């Protein structure tokens, strides 16, 4: 067991709070990174600016969550409304960090999953704007999986089998596309599913695909979208992978015990 689970309840609560705040800050960074991928410009160079009035933002405008609440969701300089999705992305990032530390404590696995989550958050934000999942981030997410070998050398087994459901799905999609003469699932989504397979294993890969489909169908029913209109599937895969990372192992064990 790791150090986190040996702490008393108060210390654990404090650590989770720190994880949440760190997640908020990383969420703010992911927002900036995604914004610059979509709109151009480098992340390292240049200060953050208001997208409408172009005013350079001061440190006090960039405090995650609190700046948004304090400024009531508006730019301090031109009073333009800041899209609530920036706040939402920060909150999601904060909750993700908290949940991963809660589930995995202090471990190499935690570091890997936190970094993976932040890369996937940037990808999801870009996907919402452009309907594309950038390959550079996909490669970074895949490379990150090599940390699994340091966690447990025997993991190489799971890393090879992990993406097989995604590869099977790719075959199925190619056949479907040929028969229906239309694209039924984006190539980027299948690549992302394969990356989740390498990180979380084959069983989780199947579980999260089913879950992402249900979430996607529910969301499109809620939004009452026409079937022909495409919508980004990446964020649904990401949400399902989050669930699988936290609860997947227990669900799969419970399922296997039925036989």
Residues 104 and 110 sit within 8 Å (Cβ to Cβ): yes
At its nearest, how many Å lie between Zn ion and the CB of residue 126?
23
State which residue, 50 or 170, has the beta carbon closest to Zn ion.
50
State which residue, 79 or 157, has the beta carbon closest to Zn ion.
79
Map the footprint of Zn ion across residues 168-197, applying CB under 5 A: none
Sign of torsion over alpha carbons 82, 84, 87, 93:
negative
State which residue, 55 or 225, has the beta carbon closest to Zn ion.
55
Map the footprint of Zn ion across residues 39-98, applying CB under 5 A: 50, 52-53, 75, 77-78, 80
At its nearest, how many Å lie between Zn ion and the CB of residue 27?
21
Residues 212 and 239 sit within 8 Å (Cβ to Cβ): yes
- Among 36, 19, 41, which residue's Cα sits nearest to residue 97? 19
Name the residue with tokens 């790719």: 170
Map residue 202 onto helix, strand or coil: helix
Q: Where are the beta strands (DSSP E) in the chain?
A: none
Binding mask 4-43 for Zn ion (x = CB under 5 A): ----------------------------------------
d(CA 96, CA 147): 20
- The tokens describing 151, both together, are 């966690």
Map the footprint of Zn ion across residues 211-230, applying CB under 5 A: none
State which residue, 52 or 225, has the beta carbon closest to Zn ion.
52
Residues 192 and 119 sit within 8 Å (Cβ to Cβ): no
d(CA 213, CA 64): 31
At its nearest, how many Å lie between Zn ion and the CB of residue 104?
40
State which residue, 74 or 225, has the beta carbon closest to Zn ion.
74
At its nearest, how many Å lie between Zn ion and the CB of residue 159?
46
Query: Would you tell me which residues interact with Zn ion (CB under 5 A)?
Result: 50, 52-53, 75, 77-78, 80
């Amino acid at each position: 067991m790791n150090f986190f689970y040996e702490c008393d309840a108060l210390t654990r609560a404090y650590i989770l709070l720190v994880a949440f705040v760190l997640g908020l800050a990383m969420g703010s960074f992911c927002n900036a990174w995604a914004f610059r991928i979509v709109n151009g410009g480098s992340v390292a160079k240049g200060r953050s600016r208001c997208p409408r009035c172009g005013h350079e933002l001061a440190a006090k405008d960039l405090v995650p969550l609190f700046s948004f609440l304090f400024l009531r969701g508006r730019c301090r300089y031109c009073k333009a409304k800041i899209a609530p999705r920036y706040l939402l992305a920060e909150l999601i990032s904060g909750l993700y960090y908290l949940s991963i530390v809660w589930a995995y404590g202090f471990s190499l696995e935690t570091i890997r999953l936190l970094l993976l989550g932040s890369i996937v958050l940037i990808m999801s934000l870009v996907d919402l704007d452009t309907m594309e999942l950038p390959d550079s981030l996909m490669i970074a997410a895949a490379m990150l999986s090599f940390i699994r070998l340091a966690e447990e050398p025997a993991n190489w087994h799971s890393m090879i089998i992990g993406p097989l459901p995604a590869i099977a799905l790719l075959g199925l999609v190619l056949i479907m596309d040929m028969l229906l003469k239309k694209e039924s699932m984006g190539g980027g989504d299948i690549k992302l599913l394969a990356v989740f397979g390498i990180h979380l294993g084959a069983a989780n890969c199947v579980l999260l695909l089913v879950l992402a489909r249900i979430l996607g169908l529910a969301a499109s029913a809620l939004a009452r979208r026409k079937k022909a209109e495409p919508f980004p599937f990446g964020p649904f895969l990401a949400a399902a992978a989050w669930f699988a990372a936290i609860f997947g192992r227990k669900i799969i064990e419970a399922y296997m015990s039925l036989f």
